[in-house]
Structure 1
Amino acid sequence: MRREDLTDLIWFLAVAEERSFTRAAARLRTSQSTLSHTIKQLEARLGLRLLTRTTRSVAPTEAGERLLASLGPHLAGIEEDLASLMALRDRPSGTVRISVSDHAFETVLWPRLQPVLASYPDIRLEFSIDNALRNIVEERFDAGVRLGESLDKDMIAVRASQDWRLVAVAAPAYFATRPRPRVPQDLVQHNCINHRQGRSGGLYAWEFEKDGRELRVRVEGQLVLSSSLPMVDAALAGFGIAYVPEDLVAGHVAAGRLVQVLDDWSPVFPGYFLYYPSRRQLSPAMTIVVDALRVKAGSQAP
C-alpha cells in the first residue's frame, strides 16, 4: 500500500466518524475542499462510492460502512501501540479528549485540571461540554464525566466528586404573587425553567424523593435551556423556578437573592465519576488526568 493510500483512508475514517466534511476538516487541520477532493480520488481508485453526500449530512454507503468497520479497529490498535511507546518518554504528552457536563466542568474538572496544564506543558486537554450522554468509544473520546447512576457496566469508573443534590429555587419576586409549592405536584401550577438533556434530547423530568417515595414531575414554563448556569441566571431574573445543583445557588440562597423550596424532597445523587473503556491502556497523559480527578477516601473534594 502506498503511503498516500493510508493517509486517504485515515481521512475517510474522520469524515465517516464525524458525518461532516466541515468537522472532519477541522479535526484533520486541513481545508474542506482538499478533504473532499481526497475522498473523491480515493473513491475513484477503489471504483466504489464510500459516502453519500447531501446538503445537510454525510453518511457512509454500504461499502463505506464495511470499510469503516474494518479500518476503525486497526487504526485504534495502532493508536494504542503509539500511546504505549509514548509511555517510554520522560515527559507525558498528547491530547486527552473528555466529554463532560457543564456543571461537572465548572465545579470539578476545571479547578483540578488547571494545575495539570501548568505542570505539564506537553499535555493538551480537549473538553466537549454538554449534557448529552455520549458514546465515548464511538465518538473517540478518551473519557467522560457523568453521574454514577448513568455509567455503562463495561467502563472503569473513578469517583471524581462527592454526592450532591438538586434543589428548586426561584427569586423572591417570583413568589410575591404566587404560593410556594409544598409538594412536587404543586409545580404543575408554576412557571418552571425546563432543562433539555443535550441538543436533541428530551426534557428532564424533575426527580424528587422523600421517605423512600420517589416522584417524577414533568413541568411546564416559558423557558427551555440546556445548561445549568443560564438556568440560575433566569431564576435570578424572576422567570420561574429552576431545578439546579445546590452548589450553584447556595450563595444566592444565603444572600436572599433566591428562595429554596421543596428542600425535604430534594434527592441526593451519587456524584460525578470519570469513566473510560476497561480495555484501553492508559497513556501517561491520561494517567495524570485520572490521578488529578480521583477523589481519595475521606476527601472533601466537590
Structure 2
Amino acid sequence: MDRDILIHLPAVLAVARCQSFAAASKELKMSPSAVSHAVRAVEERLGLPLFARTTRSVSLTETGRSFVAATATATSDIADAIESARADQNRVAGLLRLNVPMPALSMGIDRIVRETVRRHADLRVEVFCDNSLSDIVADGFDIGVRIGTMVAEDMVAIRMTPPIRSLLVAAPSYLEKYGTPTCVADLQSHNCITYRKRKDGPIYDWTLMEDGGAVDLRVRGTFIVNEASYARQLVLDGVGIIYAYDRLVEDELADGSLVEVLPETRVEKPGLYLYYPQRASRTPKVRAFIDIAREIMAPELRRYDQEAAE
C-alpha cells in the first residue's frame, strides 16, 4: 500500500468534489499550494494525470474519474468507521451531507431537515441542491433524494411520498390573452417555459398522456430554466405555460392564481425517495435522519395507501 497516496488522497477527493483547488483548500483548511502539492504528489506516484487544469476550470480526466469513484467509496467507509467508533451509540453529531433536487425541498425534505437539526443540536446538515443524477458516494454525500427509484443496485431506497403527477398549468391572465389549448398539438403555438436539467444537457421533453398512451413532446418558448421556483414565478406573472409537479403548485391551484391546462394529459410518476448505501445506515446521523423522515411522512403515506385500497 502506497502511504504517499493515502496521505494525500483527501486533497484529491476534495478537489474532485469542489472542482476547484481554491475551494478545496478552504474545505480542508490548507493553503492552495499545499493542496496543489498533494495532488501533484499523487499524480506523480501514479504516473498519470488525474485532473485537466486550465486558468478557469479544473476537471477530472478519464483516469481521474475512475480513480475517484473507486477510492471515494473506500475513504467514505473509513470515515464512517472512525465516526461510528468515536460516537456514542445514540449520539447524533457531525456533518450530514444531503444531495437534493431543488423541487424536492418543498415536497417535504425541508421539514425533515429542520426537524432533524431541532432535535440534534450537535448535528450540522449540508443541503446541496443538484438536479443531475449524482453519484452520492463518489461525491461524498451521506443521503440522496430522487424522484423515483432509479438508483444503483447497492443503494437502499425508501419511499417518502405518494406518487406525484406532472401537469400543465398557466395563469388565468395568460389564457385570457392567448387562449386555452384544447389539445396537445395546440401547445406548439403557445409560449412554453422549458427546463434544462444540466448545463450541458438537452432541453427536457414534456411527457404527456394522449389517446391512452404517453408521448414525449418537444415544446418551445421564450424561457429555458433549470430551477422550478423560477419557472413557477414566470407562470404566475402570466409569461406562459409550465410543466410542473402537482405538489409544487398545489397552493396556487387551490387559490386560483394558476389553473390546470389539458388535465387529461396528466402523467403519474413515482414519488420522492431517499436513498443511501447500506453501510451508511450504521452511522447515528443517517439513522436519525431516516427515522425522522419516516415519522414525518408516514401520515400522508398511510392516507394514500388506505385510499388506494378502497
1:49–1:61 CA contact under 8 A, matched in 2: no
Helix, strand or coil at the partner of 1:108? helix
Whether the 8 Å CA contact 2:95–2:125 is kept in 1: the answer is yes
Question: Is contact 2:72–2:139 with CA below 8 Å preserved after alignment?
Answer: no
Question: Secondary structure of 1:296's partner?
Answer: helix
* Alpha-carbon distance in 2 for matches of 1:177, 1:258: 14
1:267 maps to 267
The one-letter amino acid of 1:14's match is A
CA contact (8 A) 1:193 1:223 kept: yes
Aligned Cα RMSD in Å?
A: 3.1
Report the CA distance between 1:73 and its aligned residue.
4.9
Aligned residues: 300
Which residue does the alignment assign to 1:77? 77
Q: How does 1:48-67 map to 2 (within 5 A)?
A: 50=49, 51-59=51-59
Q: Which amino acid aligns with 1:180?
A: T
After superposition, the Cα gap between the structure-2 partners of 1:126 and 1:213, relative to the gap in structure 1 and judged at 3 Å, is: same
Question: Hey, what does 2:135 align to over in structure 1?
Answer: 135
Aligned 1:96-245 pairs, distance under 5 A: 96-209=96-209, 212-245=212-245
> Quick check: 170-179 or 292-301, which moved more?
292-301
Determine if the alignment matches structure 1 residue 296 to structure 2 residue 298: yes
Farther-moved stretch of structure 1 (105-114 vs 67-76): 67-76
Taking structure 1 as reference, are residues 130 and 63 closer, same or farther at Cα in structure 2, changes over 3 Å only? closer
- The question of whether the paired residues in 2 share the 8 Å contact of 1:191 and 1:241 is answered with yes
Question: CA separation of 1:231/1:47 partners in 2, compared to 1, >3 Å: closer, same or farther?
Answer: closer
Query: Identity percentage over the alignment?
Result: 32
User: SS where residue 299 of structure 1 aligns?
Assistant: helix
- Aligned-pair CA distance for 1:159: 0.8
8 Å CA contact 1:48–1:63 kept in 2: the answer is: no
Unaligned runs of 5+ in 1: none
The 3 A distance-change label for structure 1 pair 246 and 17 is closer
Q: What amino acid is aligned across from residue 186 of structure 1 in structure 2?
A: D
Structure 1 residue 205, shift from structure 2 partner: 0.8
> Conserved in 2, the CA contact under 8 Å of 1:86 and 1:283?
no
The whole-number CA distance in structure 2 between the counterparts of 1:44 and 1:214 is 49
CA contact (8 A) 1:198 1:226 kept: yes
- Rate the CA distance shift 1:17–1:110 in 2: closer, same or farther, 3 A: closer
Distance in 2 separating the partners of 1:70 and 1:170 = 46
8 Å Cα contact 1:80/1:281 also seen in 2: no
Deviation at 1:96, TM superposition (A): 1.5
Amino acid at match of 2:140: R
* CA deviation map 1:142-185 (0-9, x unaligned): 12111125333332110111222122111222122323112222
CA-CA distance at 1:10 after TM superposition: 2.3
Does the aligned pair in 1 maintain the 2:25–2:31 contact within 8 Å?
Answer: yes
Aligned partner letter, 2:273: F
| 1:136 partner SS | coil
Q: CA deviation at 1:91?
A: 1.8
What are the ranges of 5 or more consecutive residues in structure 2 without an aligned counterpart?
305-310
Q: CA deviation at 1:70?
A: 7.0
TM-score by length of 1: 0.85
* CA spacing shift, 1:259–1:24, aligned 2, 3 Å: same
Superposition deviation, residue 55 in structure 1: 1.7
Contact 1:86 1:284 in 2 (8 A): no
TM-superposed CA distance for 1:32, in Å, is 2.6
CA deviation string 1:183-239 (max 9, x = no partner): 222211110000111333221111112574111111100001111111110001111
Question: Shift of residue 11 of structure 1?
Answer: 1.6
